[in-house]
Amino acid sequence: MEICRRLLPAAVALMLTSGCSLLPGRPTPTAAPPVPTSPSPSFSPATADDGPVTQTNDPTPTPSPATATAQTSAPTPTAPSAQSIAESFARAWARPDLSVSEWLAGVKPLATSAYGTLLESVDPGRIPATTITGGATPTSTTPSAVIFDVPTDAGILAITCQLVDGTWLVNGVDLRRPG
């Protein structure tokens, strides 16, 4: 009897660590499948003009507005160069009157290489904004990424800037239309 009392805890521990269930008919716990670490584009610029374009294949992930806000409760001071890049990009982006090559000449130098490649599939004539109506306001910050809201005549342009080798570059935009 005393041997049973000594062996029972060891048997239960062995069952639990080996994945056996103590209750009949109950499934044994399994590990969740691994979460993929490589981001994928969430938007096809050739087919829409105001969906999110925040993921590229750059090695440093770009936080979405929801995750970036969760990381910091209040925006921290931002390098003036990040704000300047966001405002310059917004002015260059809101030019539906330009040819594709002229438009790309304005936006690509301000973008990460992966996002610049994605911008090559955009038809600038489909961009609804034509005027920037205010300055860039930081809404979420981390040491390597800042999201700015830039008001336009077509809605709020959320611009994600990423610090790449000491230089702030745009890594995504999302036009949020009113209503």
Residue at 157 is within a domain: yes
Is residue 23 included in any domain, yes or no?
no
Q: How far apart are CA 31 and CA 143, in angstroms?
A: 33
Rounded to two decimals, the pTM is 0.58
What pLDDT, on the 0 to 100 scale, is given for residue 174? 97
Mean pLDDT by 10 residues, the chain (179 residues): 45 39 40 37 38 44 44 48 96 98 98 97 97 97 96 98 95 93
Q: Is residue 74 part of a domain?
A: yes
Instruction: Determine phi and psi for 169, rounding to 5 degrees.
Output: -135, 155
Residue 72 covered by a domain: yes
Closest CA to 42 of 150, 118, 140: 118
Rg (CA), the chain: 24
**114: CATH:** 3.10.450
Q: Is the residue at 38 inside a domain? A: no
Nearest to 173 by CA among 131, 125, 110, 96: 110
**Range of the structural domain that residue 145 is part of:** 65-176
Q: How many domains does the chain have?
A: 1
- Confirm whether 87 is domain-assigned: yes
Residue 1 lies inside a defined structural domain of this protein: no
Give the containing element (helix H, strand E) for 148. Answer: strand 145-152
Q: Is residue 77 part of a domain?
A: yes
Predicted pLDDT at 104: 98
